[in-house]
Structure 1
């Protein structure tokens, strides 16, 4: 009944910028996670990444982490709980709001972050070897513009 509609959507998705960006991001995250899994961190999953990425050095409330990651507080609470059980983060009452929980990185969490950063740098170097350093720099700049919400300029 909707075969044509789905076929057109699938055909369009192959070249859709948003779809390509999501697919590329998924591939990069998967490659990074696979590399750090081989270094002793197989328990870290894609859902855990936003906690590490959005965590402030002095700790961050679960509500703030959820807002930064674009998920519900309840979902973030579950993810933080998993990471706390694995020893990568700790939680304590927030000194500014005793009802809130502040999430902080542990020594194990810092070790994971160092391993993930090194893996990301190695993967970036591989992309630079494959595409050329200048092309990677241009790609980074363009992605920053897209992430900042810059609209493409249309020539007159």
Structure 2
């Protein structure tokens, strides 16, 4: 009987210690303020890159996840806030890359159209003509081999 009571107390103590350790571990998670700042910066970069026009789904997802991360921070759910902030940053980076790609493709199309039909048909820019040299004169020119003081080359 005494042994049963000790075993029961042992299990209860272990459960209390485990719960306390779990709570302590949650409390030790630092607030992800740096990650939230980096994510907010990534969303701003995506917006400046034209994500509203070229990658609206990714941009909207990034904004929503950043808002959810802010809410998680207000509720002191630091782990969830960090995860959502990281996801927001990835979505914003993707929106930026897609926007930059679309902008580059538009610029390349503009260059091709300015280069004329030859460039668009072959996929290459036309070559520039080789520079022409002045005609050779009667034996002496500024391009001749330098002579030694004795007059021989």
TM-score (norm 2): 0.26
Larger strand percent:
1
More helix by share: 2
TM-score (norm 1): 0.26
